[in-house]
């Protein structure tokens, strides 16, 4: 266990904060609830971003940029939407500061705006106000636009990456001529989210539908990917919304169909955010710190030269040459730690940062023509000849990616239970874990369970089998099989 | 000339707005002065961004992210800085909306913040408040951080890309142990800006120092790249600031030196923005629309199949196969326009969008084994055999990049004049152009000239030769040779 790091088994929240801090991922900003993403954390986010950006471009989407500032009146246009976001809106009311003899710098009261503007908590309203200008005919459809942006939601209880007043995300906003097409888009994107989570972040997810009470404010249907974190709580890692014609109606966006009729446009929106960095920490971290899956790791391999004097350093440099050449050819992201600290200190530091592989080179390795590779995920320490090391680095990076996924999957499956006893349900929720069970489909049942246990329905999984199930609470025939858990 | 496009010689501002609109680059957002960057415009920005992002990473910089929202009190800490930005600050005062029976949705008065927060107009203050936490010793230096972000400056007179209330940019913020190192960084970055402008955007620039009255609020020295636009006005395309110890003092950021002393940290900051998209339009556009340099063009080659029926289409598809394969192998960014519009319509549209090369393929080409390539920059139309076309596309893209640069350079040189007569100076400024002349170094001279002619000192160029010159206004011996122009 890393010095001073709390045991994740005993104090997961404190462990999380310490890892975020000591791995150099993020810091608190001066305004309450805001976050500074430090270089190492940002590289991790950039890697995730670049992977998903590539995925959506390959599937025909294009990036654009819409304004940060939205007229207040726009929020009035979609009733559910305003209800969902009204309580956490940052409102801009003035546009100038001025010097005041008594009070120093004050807000200039004469700069008050006629209509206040809102910092986007999400961009449906501003985007659909533009789509109204851009869409006339079926020839203008589909529109498949995404933006990478910051949004602000004035949250009361914040935690770095998981819930911050400002966060970074992508928000896709598409417009379609038919309901079917919009539904297909919603599910296609969800599938990309699943791939991103499982194949790159090494986090297994349940895919499914949100219930009415958990869906996005303004959507007809919200689909999600839900993951289990190391404390057995759920984390919503991405959502894809079928918005129906709600925003088209709110902003009067009609188009001329092929057969010359007028119809409202069909819409989707979907997003993932810097929260995913939190998911990586919470899903894979251990008592030594972070464990980052190789495919998204800012540094995949750290090289620690073990030397006592300048002669040894120059020998090591020479010995390393073919290795670094091989790493560059194979595009392994590596870093050599030449700092003055002791090897032990360096081991701890890079383990804390979750670098998947460590290569140690000391004087004896040079004599013997060997190198030592240490895996962050398993701790395994293996010696290879210098000639074989590149090949084995590639193999171990691959294995480590798979191993992190397999571990997370086993953990999730071991902690996902089925039951039809509410007593057992409550016990599982208290001790930690997911419960797959029947639900009668009533919102009041959901509410009572939430009040009594703090567990919510994370999703109605696509592979639900409600036939023959009874509701975990009411005992009535189940309408759906659902997954309950306490969530972040 | 493209149908309905104003003649740039006669009405440059209107021509500019029409090109931005008709090329699909951007649109006005609903809040006054804000901008929607449409997909084609955003791809252009993304290309510029990716090139510069690569440059700064290669030179040891790393990206991070700092909060959008800054406590009002931070602006008070650096006196010049607050004066520079106070008049254009978007101020957040409340955090909730609520329903009101009479007025609909209103700002909840009970959600008023104790201390107002400012949307960043630039991030020096929030970043130096963090650097205070991160820097203790010389070992923590240098810090070479950049962020890609949006900023808000409440501008009165806005124009898409050139001056908008919100814009996208990169802002680098570095911290150094010595004055020399900070100065070197300031100039190294300016050199990267020069390379970006000249080698990629094909825009020749003057590099030099800003005068006191034109420098960044809070800097010791501001360096810039200054370009000439198609109407002979100047555009500041990038600035690099040596901030001295001003922000370190404002935020009490000291470090322990190698010899155990305490010293304030030295700083730089530097930025380029979406304004560069405006520069590309203004520097290269002509009476048919945009002309985009190939190295930054979203689409480098557009293929226009010229077909009258389905048989011909399938022949063209087959004929195109080895060409598109070649384009993919050579990583040329291409697009095939299969839409129903007439060839003439398509030619105009893609010329408007400034795509560097057009490839036309019709039935006769198939018979003859040829293709026709048309250059956007010169209008030259050349026939090549299908076998030779890929090679020639690469050659022509290269030539077109160079040609746009050469044209812009000739234009700038032809319109940059030297004189020591103030009458001649005024005539040149009125008719359009840059004037290189002597200046006595007095701010009042600068002010009088600005009041009388609207021309400002764009920079004191690095290659100035003030010896023997007299001031264009006062006739006194020149302290500097400077470049005067009316500017965007």
User: Residue B208: helix, strand or coil by DSSP?
Assistant: strand
Other CB atoms within a 10 A radius of the CB of residue A328 amount to 10
Angstrom distances, CA of residue A148 to CA of A46, A167, A322: 11, 11, 40
> A63 vs B46: CB contact, 8 Å cut-off?
yes
Domain end point (choices A284, A312, A339): A284
Same domain, A279 and A323: no
**What mean pLDDT do residues B424-450 have?**
98
What integer pLDDT is reported at residue B256 of this predicted model? 98
The per-residue pLDDT for A2 is: 63
* Closest to B52 measured CA to CA, from B165, B171, B213: B171
Q: Given this model, what pLDDT does residue A311 score?
A: 83
Assess if residue A39 is contained within a domain: yes
Instruction: Note the pLDDT tens digit of each residue in B7-33.
Output: 999 999 999 999 999 999 999 999 999
Q: Closest approach of chain A CAs to the CA of B71, in angstroms? A: 6
Tell me: do B262 and B327 sit in the same domain: no
In this structure, is residue A78 part of a structural domain? no
Q: Which residues of A touch B104 (CB under 8 A)?
A: 76
The whole-angstrom separation of Cα A430 and Cα B212 is 66
A441 to chain B nearest CA, in Å? 30
Query: CB distance A97–B63 less than 8 Å?
Result: no
Between chain A and chain B, the number of residue pairs with CB atoms below 8 A apart is 198
Say yes or no: B322 and B191 in one domain: no
Q: Locate the chain A residue with the closest alpha carbon to B109.
A: A91
Are B161 and B231 members of one domain? Answer: yes
Domain residue limits at B52: 12-284
pLDDT of residue A156: 87
Please judge whether B97 and A72 are an interchain contact, meaning their C-beta atoms are less than 8 angstroms apart: yes
Q: Which of B331, B365, B399 is the last residue of a domain?
A: B399
Name the helix (H) or strand (E) containing B254: strand B254-256
Sign of CA dihedral B465, B470, B476, B481: negative
What's the CATH code of the domain at B278? 3.30.930.10
Last residue of a domain, one of B241, B256, B284: B284
Whether residue B344 is found in the same domain as residue B470: no
Residues of A in contact with B62 (CB under 8 A): 39, 42-43
List chain B residues with CB under 8 Å of A27.
130, 133
| Residues A43 and A153 grouped into a single domain | yes
* Cβ-defined contact of A39 to B30 (cutoff 8 Å): no
The helix/strand/coil state of B149 is strand
Nearest-Cα distance to chain A for B36, in Å, is 5
Question: What is the residue-level pLDDT of chain A in tens, covering all 488 positions?
Answer: 566 899 999 999 999 999 999 999 999 999 999 999 999 999 999 999 999 999 999 999 999 999 999 999 998 888 788 888 999 999 999 999 998 888 889 999 999 999 999 999 999 999 999 999 999 999 999 999 999 999 999 988 999 999 999 999 999 999 999 999 999 999 999 999 999 999 999 999 999 999 999 999 999 999 999 999 999 999 999 999 999 999 999 999 999 999 999 999 999 999 999 999 999 999 999 999 999 999 999 999 999 999 888 888 899 999 999 999 999 999 999 999 999 899 999 999 999 999 999 999 999 999 999 999 999 999 999 999 999 999 999 999 999 999 999 999 999 999 999 999 999 999 999 999 999 999 999 999 999 999 999 999 999 999 999 999 999 999 999 999 999 999 99
**Do A150 and A270 meet the contact criterion of CB atoms below 8 Å apart?**
no
**Does residue A1 belong to any structural domain of this protein?**
no
CB contact under 8 A, A88 and B67: no
Quote the CA–CA distance of B187 and B182 in Å, as a whole number.
9
Q: Which residues contact A368 (CB under 8 A, 6 or more apart)?
A: none
- CA distances from residue B270 to A132, B234, B361, B365 in whole angstroms, order as listed: 38, 19, 47, 51
Residues A424 and A335 in one domain: no
The token duo for B61 is 């910089």
User: Could A152 and B34 be called an inter-chain contact, meaning their C-beta atoms sit closer than 8 Å?
Assistant: no
Q: What is the CA radius of gyration of chain B?
A: 26
User: Which residues in chain A have their CB less than 8 angstroms from residue B96's CB?
Assistant: 86-89, 91, 154
Cβ–Cβ of A150/B149 closer than 8 Å? yes
CA distance A100 to chain B (A): 11
Alpha-carbon distance of B57 to B61, in angstroms, equals 5
d(CA B108, CA B118): 19
In a domain? residue B304: yes
Q: Which among B70, B105, B154 has CB closest to A95?
A: B154
Number of domains into which chain B is organized: 3
Nearest to A66 among B36, B92, B133 (CB): B36
Residues B218 and B353 grouped into a single domain: no
Written as one string, the DSSP assignment of A196-224 is IIIIIS---EEEEE--GGGS-TT-SEEEE
Residue A258 in domain: yes
Is residue B408 one of the residues assigned to a domain? no
Contact yes or no for B65 and A130 at CB 8 A: no
Closest CA to B12 of B159, B146, B110: B159
Compare CB distances from B63 to A39, A69, A72 and report the shortest one's residue.
A39
The β-bridge relationship of strands B434-439 and B480-485 is: antiparallel
- Are B336 and B211 contained in the same domain? no
On whether both A299 and A329 belong to a single domain, the answer is yes
Q: Is residue A209 part of a domain?
A: yes
Cβ of A95 within 8 Å of Cβ of B91? The answer is yes
Q: Do residue B245 and residue B378 come from a single domain?
A: no
Containing H/E element for A365?
A: helix A363-368
Express each pLDDT in B114-163 by its tens digit.
999 999 999 999 999 999 999 999 999 999 999 999 999 998 899 999 99
Nearest-5° angle of CA B270, CA B272, CA B276? Answer: 160
Same domain, B150 and B237: yes
Candidate from B46, B86, B104 with C-beta closest to A97:
B86
Helices (H), B218-309: 246-250, 275-284
B81 contacts B129 by C-beta, under 8 angstroms: no
Task: Tally the residues of chain A.
Answer: 488
User: Considering only CB atoms, which chain B residues are within 8 Å of A33?
Assistant: none
* In the predicted structure, residue B1 carries a pLDDT above the cut 60: no
Residue A69 placed within a domain = no
Q: What is the CATH number of the domain that holds B457?
A: 3.30.110.30
Distance of CA A156 to the CA centre of its chain: 20
Closest partner residue to A76 among B76, B104, B154, by Cβ? B104
């Amino acid at each position: 266990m890393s010095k001073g790091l709390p045991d994740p088994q005993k104090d997961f929240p404190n462990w999380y904060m310490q890892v975020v801090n000591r791995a150099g991922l993020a810091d608190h900003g001066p305004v309450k609830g805001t976050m500074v993403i430090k270089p190492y954390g940002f590289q991790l986010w950039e890697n995730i971003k670049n992977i998903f950006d590539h995925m959506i471009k390959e599937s025909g989407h294009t990036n654009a940029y819409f304004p940060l500032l939205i007229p207040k009146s726009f929020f009035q246009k979609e009733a559910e939407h305003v209800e969902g976001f009204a309580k956490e809106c940052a409102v801009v009311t003035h546009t100038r500061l001025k010097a005041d003899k008594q009070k120093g710098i004050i807000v200039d009261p004469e700069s008050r705006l006629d209509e206040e503007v809102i910092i986007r908590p999400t961009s449906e309203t501003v985007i659909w106000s533009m789509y109204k200008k851009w869409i006339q005919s079926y020839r203008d459809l589909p529109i498949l636009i995404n933006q990478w942006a910051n949004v602000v939601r004035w949250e009361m209880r914040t935690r770095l990456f998981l819930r911050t007043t400002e966060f970074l995300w992508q928000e896709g906003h598409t417009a379609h001529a038919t309901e079917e097409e919009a539904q297909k888009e919603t599910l296609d994107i969800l599938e990309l989210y699943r791939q991103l989570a499982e194949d790159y972040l090494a986090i297994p997810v349940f895919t499914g539908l949100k219930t009415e009470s958990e869906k996005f404010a303004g959507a007809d249907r919200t689909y999600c990917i839900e993951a289990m974190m190391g404390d057995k709580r759920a984390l919503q890692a991405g959502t894809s919304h079928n918005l129906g014609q709600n925003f088209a109606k709110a902003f009067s966006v009609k188009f001329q169909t092929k057969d010359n009729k007028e119809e409202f446009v069909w819409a989707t929106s979907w997003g993932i955010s810097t929260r995913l960095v939190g998911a990586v920490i919470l899903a894979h971290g251990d008592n030594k710190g972070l464990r980052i899956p190789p495919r998204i790791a800012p540094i995949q391999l750290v090289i620690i030269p073990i030397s006592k004097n300048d002669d040894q350093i120059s020998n090591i440099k020479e010995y390393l040459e073919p290795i670094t050449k091989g790493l560059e050819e194979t595009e392994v992201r590596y870093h050599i730690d030449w700092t003055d600290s002791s090897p032990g200190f360096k081991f701890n530091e890079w383990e804390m940062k979750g670098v998947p592989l460590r290569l140690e080179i000391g004087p004896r390795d040079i004599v013997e023509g060997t190198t030592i590779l240490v895996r962050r995920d398993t701790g395994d320490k293996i010696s290879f000849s210098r000639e074989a090391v590149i090949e084995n680095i590639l193999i171990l990076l691959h294995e480590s990616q798979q191993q992190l996924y397999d571990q997370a999957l086993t953990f999730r499956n071991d902690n996902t239970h089925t039951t039809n006893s509410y007593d057992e349900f409550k016990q599982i929720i208290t001790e930690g874990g997911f419960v797959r069970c029947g639900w009668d489909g009533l919102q009041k049942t959901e509410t009572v369970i939430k009040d009594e246990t703090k567990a919510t329905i994370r999703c109605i999984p696509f592979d639900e089998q409600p036939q023959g199930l009874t509701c975990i609470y009411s005992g009535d025939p189940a309408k759906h099989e659902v997954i309950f858990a306490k969530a972040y």
